Amino acid sequence: MSGPAGAPRRPKRRRRLPRALRIVLLIAVALIVLAIGGTVATSSYEQRPLGYIGSGGDPSPPAWTKSCQRRDGKSGRRYMLACGHVRGRAVYVQPEDPDEDGDAHAVVIAGPRLVIVKYPVVDGRRPGHLPGLGGRVDAAGTTSPGRDGLTSIDTQSSRPRR
């Protein structure tokens, strides 16, 4: 193809970002990847199923399952409800209580998964010890299927970490 005077058309040149801006963007992306990798590597999620404890059941469950353990009133046998333990960072903390049941929720990244952590009502008040965004969470409690396929932990014992 030719231009208006019969001269060949020159292809349009793409504008490139300035070198300094490309370097800054590359460093920012690298830091984000490292931060995500570090969070995934230093977080964990464990789960124990519903079952009896001792004599044919789980012989000695870990200490974090204590809030999930119960005793059968008729037989006296100890059992454990489905129980989960999460260590990770809060990626979302519910700012308000839309269903007005008093509890609060946080979404925690734990390894390659997201887990919903429910903080219960204490003495009729919404909990005041919620983690901040990016704050470390160490929580254990009974598990149930949550929204959007995420596991939910109803905390009996939990503590945000600094």
pLDDT digits (tens, 9 = 90+) for 10-55: 777 777 778 788 788 878 777 777 666 666 666 788 888 888 887 6
Measured CA to CA, the distance from residue 116 to residue 144 in angstroms comes to: 10
Tokens of 85: 């333990």
Which residues, in sequence order, are CB contacts of 27 under 8 Å at separation 6+? Answer: none
For strand 151-161 and strand 113-119, is the pairing parallel, antiparallel, or unpaired?
parallel
Mean pLDDT of the region 101-105: 77
Report residue 76's pLDDT band, with 50, 70 and 90 as the boundaries. Answer: confident
β partners of residue 106: 93, 117
Tokens 């260590």 correspond to: 87
Segment 6-13 mean pLDDT: 70
The token pair that represents 9 in the structure block:
């058309």
Buried (b) or exposed (e) across 93-119, using 16+ Cβ within 10 A? bbeeeeeeeebbbbbbbbbeebbbbbb
Residue 16: alpha-carbon gap to chain centroid: 38
Count of CB atoms situated within 10 Å of the CB of 160? 18
Do 140 and 64 meet the contact criterion of CB atoms below 8 Å apart?
yes
**Is-contact 79 72, C-beta < 8 A?**
yes
For the chain, the structural domain boundaries read 83-161
- Report whether pLDDT(115) > 80: yes
67 phi and psi, to 5 degrees? -70, -10
Q: Spell out the CATH class of 83-161.
A: mainly beta
